[in-house]
A and B are shown apart, each in its own frame.
Chain A
């Protein structure tokens, strides 16, 4: 049987592998006589095959809790439901659509659920497709694309928005973030100037404060961010959490761990369930040799893939009896992502391959591919760690040169950098 048209996932691929994530239950795979049991898959690669974490399709008991879903006791959820009525009532109103789309994006980001970016995209789509789209609609679309790591497309939308409305502060701020993510700090600096001109001095200062932490000026970064924070004690919680999160990162750049922890905790006081902050703090705890604190921190966030990876890393560090099970499920989640054609988890996948699958070559390939699209300190770190483990220092040269060029301070990257440089020098000496 063949498909005459339609999108082929991967025509040449072995079907067992392609459908593995689709078939959690032997029954589903067994429909056509193909049997791939999860236990068999694990057993093939490991002596420690845990019991399969999934069962065949079943009829649940009435009181069995099947799935956590957004609760209507959460004000953010009721707010979204109310906002959902606005575009229905006023389909011609861009502000109504944009408010709902922004609420979806914000909620999805907080709870770590990409579905909401999709809902936002559907809401804003008619405005993006308009013959003469408003800049705001294009910026929202760019934000969604950036969230999905579709950076090139996001940039196009932002450039279009700025062409239509050169004083759109949000467009400049989003572009500044994009340039920082991709390691183009000179351009990001220019973007921050535009942010100051269009969104105000404080937002511009926050922009340049963030930027400084990537170019060897973490101390100045902290001073600027503290100034921004002190400027308005009445700012909303999300704003304070954001600044505190940036301060925590800058403190990490300086290797001031107690200060970084104070800022992480302070940020989480403002936004206790923010997925990005929780995951960044979990990474901090893992680095500090405190894996036992990670599982309790993220216990309510296992639906988030990024949080789940940190739990799996913590369990492995603790040699927990469930650690193989976490690794199996994490692998399954990555496989599900691949099935849908997504590859924007390179940073996470590389860590998974190196630290949990002990496959440095795969980790290095993933890290290098990820490095082509994003260049934050963690993106550099996964390349350096994998290059060392794979004993392929030459592969990390472009990252080493980037670190030299940007003067990024980072007490974790620094020793990795020196080890790789030493290995390269030794190799050169041999020739």
Chain B
């Protein structure tokens, strides 16, 4: 009898830790990224294009999970390792951000990549410009970073307008936001 139970415990880790009523508080906040877009400008005036400046902070921990940035596997992600993977990070991330609609897609032009410290660790800071044809007063943003591998990921979106700041929480249930100008 004892042996059977022990074996069932080996085979099923949940039995072991499923029961500890006073210790249910989990410890680390789940995955967040911060997407900040800034005030709109029209440059050059003759082109009629709308340019949106952006900064996208994505946790290095999350990027390491999908891209294995820690080349030597020592658990310490260095500046050199992150730099070596900058183009991987860029290619990966921008696949999950679409601005504009079919026929009026904004071109995302990646800029420099830096590191930004947040309360829960270091993030890759991806700077970019989105160049949108000025044919509409509305621009749709679709965000799907990490949703396929972690539905609890949240994109915390901040839009700085001329006079105000608006925020939205991007999730698998709310991957889209319409920006009006």
Contact = CB atoms under 8 A, between A and B. Distances in A.
B19 A177 contact: yes
A73 B78 contact: no
Contacts of A33: 39, 160
B29 A342 contact: yes
B79 A61 contact: yes
Interface stretch (B3-11, B42-50, B96-104): B3-11
B158 interface: yes
A194 to B, nearest CB: 13
A376 B117 contact: no
Contacts of B38: 31-32
A303 B13 contact: no
A3 B179 contact: yes
A177 B167 contact: no
Contacts of B24: 146-147, 149, 177, 181, 374, 376
B95 interface: no
Contacts, number: 357
B116 A114 contact: no
A54 B117 contact: yes
Q: Give chain B's interface secondary structure class.
A: mixed
Interface string A193-225: 000000111110011001000100000000000
Contact of A210 (B21, B25, B121, B176): B21
Most buried by A among B23, B36, B179: B23
B30 A68 contact: no
Contact of A304 (B13, B16, B27): B27
Contacts of B82: 60, 66
A249 B171 CA distance: 38
B78 A28 contact: no
Given A60-B82, A333-B119, A304 B28 contact: yes
Interface of A: 1-10, 15-16, 18-19, 21-25, 28, 31-34, 53-74, 102-103, 105-106, 108-109, 111-115, 117-119, 121-122, 125, 139-140, 143, 146-149, 169-170, 173-174, 176-177, 180-181, 199-203, 206-207, 210, 214, 231-232, 234-236, 238-239, 242, 245-246, 249, 275-276, 279-280, 303-307, 329, 332-333, 335-337, 339-342, 344-345, 347-348, 374, 376-378
Interface of B: 1-6, 8-10, 12-32, 34, 36, 38-39, 53, 55, 57, 60-62, 64-65, 69-70, 73-80, 82-83, 114-122, 125, 138, 148-154, 156, 158-162, 164-171, 173-174, 176-181
Given A118-B150, A242-B19, 8 more contacts: A4-B178, A9-B169, A122-B148, A239-B9, A333-B120, A336-B29, A340-B30, A376-B22
